[in-house]
């Protein structure tokens, strides 16, 4: 595992040209041997001016593309302190204390990056405990001046960006004084270590031991990248070592005598041994490839047959649908034709009834005309009855009786009743 002191090996190269460089190299070597397997509490500080607020907020809130962050893990980031907008949080603190910045280039707050060595966060088992300790540190040491804090879990190593305003209350008023508010860097490291010591983290190496210089926030990401590169290099070295062990075992099997196996061998020898070991498998490979090609051919043929079956099935389904549609239309048409035929039949029957009714009316009209011949005005009958002799009356009554008989016969045959039926008269 890559250790903390390896970050500062470039300072050792520089110190070789300085007096007492041998003692410094011994100190660094002793440091590496003592703490190579321990995780460190890491604190970085950077001054923040008014002109850089927007850029820092965009980075911390992932409002722009961040090259060293995984966008799929963005949702795991947390806002620990503040509203999530750095400008809003700064303005709120300044308004609450009635403090104003001198100009746009004034330092209005300090950015702290809190983290630990990557190995500390393996499997995230200690993450929540670590976050709790960092919050205690920020709240206890800075109070209301800790205005904004964001936890990033979408990068290689979990870390917190915290912003601290250097506002002090003196002589009955609030003043912005970053220089006096922020303690010396070494003192801040000591205090930060006390909070993280219960987690098993150790303090970073002091200047007189590691010859390390103060690092700003922009160098933090460079450190993380170096740690990642060193770790990857160690992983690759471990893989190579495992390959060598496997190759040695294979060579022992080939020679059947461990004493014959050379302790050191070239790449050409390794390749020769590997080719020799793989030769039997090459002979088995040819029939397997032939069988595989046969399976591929059968698979292609089966896929073609399946495609034809699908096409035929779809065609038959379409034909069946069309046939059912035609049958439905024919059925509807037949029903409509039956309805029309029934209506035509009723119309024809009604026409026959009308013809019969007209015929009856015609016959009734003829009967009425004939009956009119027998109508006699009552006044005329009265005069005839008064002046004619008795024999004339007898003859007249006989004529009336004959007319009534004919009328009764017609009435029975035609069911006809005239409107002006004559009175029964006798002379």
pLDDT 10s digits, 287-306: 778 788 888 888 888 888 88
Is residue 19, in this structure, part of any structural domain at all?
no
Q: Given this model, what pLDDT does residue 33 score?
A: 40
Q: Of 180, 215, 250, which residue constitutes the final position of a domain?
A: 215
Does residue 134 carry a pLDDT above 80?
Answer: yes
Comparing 104-118, 210-224, 293-307, the range with the smallest average pLDDT is: 210-224
pLDDT in tens, 351-384: 888 888 888 888 777 766 665 655 555 555 566 6
Are the C-beta atoms of 133 and 80 separated by less than 8 Å? no
Comparing 66-70, 242-246, 302-306, the range with the smallest average pLDDT is: 242-246
More confident residue, 321 or 418: 321
Q: What's the average model confidence in pLDDT over 151-165?
A: 93
pLDDT in tens, 40-57: 899 999 999 888 899 999
Phi then psi dihedrals of residue 70, to 5 deg: -90, 115
DSSP assignment of 221-248 equals: HHHHHHHHHHHHHHHHHHHHHHHHHHHH
Q: Given this model, what pLDDT does residue 246 score?
A: 52
| CATH code of residue 105 | 3.30.930.30
Residue in 50, 43, 74, 44 with CA at minimum distance from that of residue 61: 74
DSSP assignment of 371-384 equals: HHHT---HHHHHHH
Are the C-beta atoms of 188 and 164 separated by less than 8 Å? no
Q: Of 195, 215, 235, which residue constitutes the final position of a domain?
A: 215
Is residue 74, in this structure, part of any structural domain at all?
yes
Are the C-beta atoms of 125 and 197 separated by less than 8 Å? no
Helix and strand tally (H, E) in the chain? 12, 7
What 8-state DSSP symbol labels residue 427?
Answer: -
Does residue 255 carry a pLDDT above 90?
Answer: no
Comparing 10-24, 102-116, 278-292, 329-343, the range with the smallest average pLDDT is: 10-24
The first and second tokens of residue 282, run together, are 């090459």
Angle at 111 between CA 158 and CA 214, to 5 degrees: 90
More confident residue, 100 or 246: 100
More confident residue, 332 or 385: 332
What's the rounded Cα separation, in Å, for the pair 325 and 328? 5
Determine the length of the chain. 427
Q: Given this model, what pLDDT does residue 259 score?
A: 44
pTM above 0.85, yes or no: no
> What is the number of domains present in the chain?
2
Does residue 5 carry a pLDDT above 70?
Answer: no
Is residue 135, in this structure, part of any structural domain at all?
yes
Q: Given this model, what pLDDT does residue 160 score?
A: 96
Q: Given this model, what pLDDT does residue 18 score?
A: 43
At 8, is the pLDDT very low, low, confident or very high (cuts 50, 70, 90)? very low
Is residue 250, in this structure, part of any structural domain at all?
no
Q: Torsion angle of alpha carbons 409, 410, 416, 418, nearest 10°?
A: -90
At 21, is the pLDDT very low, low, confident or very high (cuts 50, 70, 90)? very low
Q: Torsion angle of alpha carbons 115, 116, 121, 122, nearest 10°?
A: 140
More confident residue, 263 or 330: 330
Comparing 4-8, 174-178, 337-341, the range with the smallest average pLDDT is: 4-8
What's the rounded Cα separation, in Å, for the pair 155 and 67? 10
pLDDT in tens, 389-423: 666 667 677 777 777 777 777 767 665 455 444 44
Q: Of 164, 197, 215, which residue constitutes the final position of a domain?
A: 215
Residues with Cβ within 8 Å of 234's Cβ and at least 6 positions away in sequence, in order, are 1, 2
What's the rounded Cα separation, in Å, for the pair 64 and 55? 9
Q: What's the average model confidence in pLDDT over 252-273?
A: 58
Q: Given this model, what pLDDT does residue 278 score?
A: 76
Does residue 2 carry a pLDDT above 50?
Answer: no
Angle at 247 between CA 243 and CA 249, to 5 degrees: 120
Is residue 171, in this structure, part of any structural domain at all?
yes
Does residue 115 carry a pLDDT above 50?
Answer: yes
Q: Given this model, what pLDDT does residue 15 score?
A: 38
Q: Torsion angle of alpha carbons 209, 214, 219, 222, nearest 10°?
A: 0
CA of 158: how far to CAs of 116, 120, 298, in Å?
Answer: 8, 10, 54
pLDDT in tens, 78-88: 999 999 999 99
Q: Which domain holds residue 396?
A: 374-427
Phi then psi dihedrals of residue 81, to 5 deg: -140, 140
Are the C-beta atoms of 146 and 120 separated by less than 8 Å? no
More confident residue, 305 or 260: 305
The first and second tokens of residue 114, run together, are 């809190």
Residues with Cβ within 8 Å of 185's Cβ and at least 6 positions away in sequence, in order, are 45, 214
Mean pLDDT score across all residues of the chain: 74
Is residue 182, in this structure, part of any structural domain at all?
yes
More confident residue, 264 or 409: 409
CA of 277: how far to CAs of 5, 64, 281, 289, 358, in Å?
Answer: 45, 54, 8, 20, 121
Are the C-beta atoms of 163 and 83 separated by less than 8 Å? no
Are the C-beta atoms of 46 and 111 separated by less than 8 Å? yes
Q: Given this model, what pLDDT does residue 237 score?
A: 53
Are the C-beta atoms of 160 and 80 separated by less than 8 Å? yes
What's the rounded Cα separation, in Å, for the pair 250 and 258? 11
Is residue 335, in this structure, part of any structural domain at all?
no
Comparing 89-98, 251-260, 305-314, 393-402, the range with the smallest average pLDDT is: 251-260
More confident residue, 66 or 141: 141
Q: Could you tell me what percent of the chain has a pLDDT over 90? A: 20
- Give the residue ranges of DSSP H helices in 85-184: 86-97, 127-142, 178-181
Beta bridge partners of 151: 78, 160
Residues with Cβ within 8 Å of 73's Cβ and at least 6 positions away in sequence, in order, are 153, 154
């Amino acid at each position: 595992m890559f250790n903390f002191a390896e970050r500062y090996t470039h300072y050792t190269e520089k110190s070789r040209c300085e007096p007492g460089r041998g003692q410094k190299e011994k100190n660094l070597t002793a440091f590496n041997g003592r703490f190579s397997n321990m995780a460190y509490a890491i604190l970085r500080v950077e001054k923040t001016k008014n002109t850089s607020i927007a850029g820092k907020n965009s980075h911390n809130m992932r409002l722009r593309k961040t090259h060293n962050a995984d966008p799929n893990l963005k949702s795991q980031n947390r806002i620990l302190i503040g509203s999530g907008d750095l400008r809003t949080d700064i303005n709120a603190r300044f308004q609450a204390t009635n403090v104003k910045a001198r100009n746009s280039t004034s330092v209005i707050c300090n950015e702290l990056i809190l983290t630990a060595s990557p190995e500390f966060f393996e499997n995230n088992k200690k993450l929540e405990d670590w976050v709790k300790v960092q919050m205690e540190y920020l709240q206890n040491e800075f109070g209301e001046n800790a205005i904004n804090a964001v936890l990033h879990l979408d990068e290689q190593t979990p870390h917190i960006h915290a912003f601290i305003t250097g506002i002090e209350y003196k002589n009955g008023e609030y003043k912005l004084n970053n220089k006096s508010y922020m303690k010396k860097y070494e003192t801040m490291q000591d205090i930060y270590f006390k909070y993280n010591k219960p987690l098993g983290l150790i303090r970073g190496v002091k200047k007189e031991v590691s010859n390390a210089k103060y690092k700003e926030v922009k160098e933090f990401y460079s450190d993380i990248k170096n740690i990642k590169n060193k770790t990857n290099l160690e992983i690759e070295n471990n893989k190579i070592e495992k390959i060598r062990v496997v190759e040695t075992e294979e060579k022992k099997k080939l020679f059947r005598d461990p004493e014959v196996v050379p302790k050191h061998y070239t790449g050409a020898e390794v390749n020769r041994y590997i080719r020799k070991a793989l030769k039997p498998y090459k002979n088995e490979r040819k029939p397997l490839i032939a069988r595989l090609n046969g399976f591929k051919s059968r698979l292609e043929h089966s896929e073609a047959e399946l495609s034809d079956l699908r096409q035929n099935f779809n065609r038959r389904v379409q034909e069946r649908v069309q046939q059912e549609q035609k049958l439905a239309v024919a059925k509807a048409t037949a029903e409509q034709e039956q309805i029309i035929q029934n209506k035509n039949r009723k119309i024809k029957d009604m026409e026959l009834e009308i013809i019969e009714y007209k015929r009856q009316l015609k016959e009734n009209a003829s009967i009425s005309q004939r009956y009119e011949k027998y109508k006699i005005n009552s006044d005329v009958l009265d005069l005839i009855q008064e002046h004619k002799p008795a024999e004339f009356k007898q003859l007249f009554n006989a004529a009336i009786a004959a007319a009534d008989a004919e009328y009764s016969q017609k009435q029975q045959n035609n069911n006809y009743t005239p409107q002006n039926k004559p009175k029964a008269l006798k002379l």
